[in-house]
Amino acid sequence: MAASTASFSATFSSLSFHPHLPSCLSSLHPSFAPKHPQKPISLRFKFTSINANSSDINTTFFDTTDPEEIYTFSPPERPEDFVPPPSFDEGPFESEDEIAKAYEELYGAAYSGETFLGNDVYAMNSKIKKTTGFGSKAKKEKVRDGFEERVVQVRRVTKVVKGGKQLHFRAVVVVGDKQGNVGVGVGKAKEVIGAVQKSAVNARRNIITVPMTKYKTFPHRSEADYGAARVMLRPASPGTGVIAGGAVRIVLELAGVENALGKQLGSNNALNNARATVVAVQKMRQFSEVAEERGIPMEELWK
Amino acid sequence: MTRRYWNINLEEMIEAGVHFGHGTRKWNPKMSPYISAKRKGIHITNLTRTARFLSEACDLVFDAASRGKQFLIVGTKNKAADSVAWAAIKARCHYVNKKWLGGMLTNWSTTETRLHKFRDLRMEQKTGRLNRLPKRDAAMLKRQLSRLQTYLGGIKYMTGLPDIVIIVDQHEEYTALRECITLGIPTICLIDTNCDPDLADISIPANDDAISSIRLILNKLVFAICEGRSSYIRNP
What is the spatial order of strands in the sheet that B20-23 belongs to? Answer: B20-23, B42-45, B35-39
pLDDT for the residue numbered A262: 92
Asked if residues B144 and B114 have their Cβ atoms less than 8 Å apart, the reply is no
Same fold yes or no, B14-103+162-232 and B106-151 = no
**Considering CB atoms only, which of A12, A40, A99 is closest to B89?**
A99
The pLDDT tens digits for A3-34 are 444 444 444 444 434 444 343 333 333 433 34
Q: Regarding the domain delimited by B106-151, which CATH topology (the fold level of the hierarchy) does it fall under? A: Helix Hairpins (1.10.287)
Contact across the interface for A8 and B123, Cβ inside 8 Å: no
| Mean pLDDT score of chain A | 72
Is the pTM value of this prediction over 0.80? no
- Given 3-state DSSP classes, what are the helix, strand and coil percentages for chain B, each rounded to the nearest 5? 55, 15, 35
Lowest-confidence pick of A130-134, B9-13, B102-106: A130-134
Q: Is the pLDDT of residue A41 over 70?
A: no
- Between CA B65 and CA A57 the distance in angstroms is 42
CA torsion angle for B123, B128, B130, B131 (degrees, to 10)? Answer: 170
Q: Is the pLDDT of residue A169 over 90?
A: yes
Contact across the interface for B36 and A36, Cβ inside 8 Å: yes
Q: How far is B86 from chain A (nearest CA, A)?
A: 6
CA torsion angle for B167, B39, A71, A19 (degrees, to 10)? Answer: 0
Within 8 A of A29 by CB-CB distance, chain B residues are: 48
pLDDT for the residue numbered B66: 84
Give A113's pLDDT tier (boundaries 50, 70, 90). Answer: low
Beta strands B42-45 and B71-74, pairing class: unpaired
| Mean pLDDT score of chain B | 84
Bridge partners for A263 per DSSP: A232
In chain B, % of residues over pLDDT 90: 0
pLDDT for the residue numbered B172: 84
pLDDT for the residue numbered A50: 41
Lowest-confidence pick of A52-66, B88-102, B175-189: A52-66
Q: What are the residue boundaries of the structural domains of chain B, listed by start?
A: 14-103+162-232, 106-151
Q: Is the pLDDT of residue A227 over 70?
A: yes
User: Cβ atoms within 10 A of the Cβ of B127, count?
Assistant: 10
Report which residue type is found at B127. T
Q: Is the pLDDT of residue B1 over 70?
A: no
Within 8 A of B52 by CB-CB distance, chain A residues are: 70, 73
pLDDT for the residue numbered A73: 63
Nearest to A76 by CA among B207, B176, B5: B5
Give B228's pLDDT tier (boundaries 50, 70, 90). Answer: confident
Asked if residues B203 and A1 have their Cβ atoms less than 8 Å apart, the reply is yes
Top CATH class of B14-103+162-232 equals alpha beta
The pLDDT tens digits for A246-293 are 889 999 999 988 899 999 998 989 999 999 999 999 988 888 888 788
**Considering CB atoms only, which of A16, A99, A124 is closest to B1?**
A16
pLDDT for the residue numbered B63: 85
Within 8 A of A124 by CB-CB distance, chain B residues are: 112, 115-116, 119, 159
pLDDT for the residue numbered B91: 82
The pLDDT tens digits for A49-98 are 444 444 444 444 444 445 555 566 666 666 666 666 666 666 667 777 77
Classify residue B175 by burial, with Cβ atoms within 10 Å: 0-12, 13-18, 19+: middle
ipTM score of the complex? 0.71
- Between CA A71 and CA A216 the distance in angstroms is 54
In chain A, % of residues over pLDDT 90: 27
Q: What is the mean pLDDT of residues A160-188?
A: 92
Q: How far is B116 from chain A (nearest CA, A)?
A: 6
Q: What is the mean pLDDT of residues B55-75?
A: 85
Classify residue A120 by burial, with Cβ atoms within 10 Å: 0-12, 13-18, 19+: exposed
Q: Which residue on chain A is closest to B14 by alpha carbon? A: A35
Torsion sign across C-alpha atoms A141, A147, A152, A158: negative
Asked if residues B49 and B34 have their Cβ atoms less than 8 Å apart, the reply is yes
Residues 6+ positions from A134 with CB-CB distance below 8 Å:
none
Give A142's pLDDT tier (boundaries 50, 70, 90). Answer: low
pLDDT for the residue numbered A223: 92
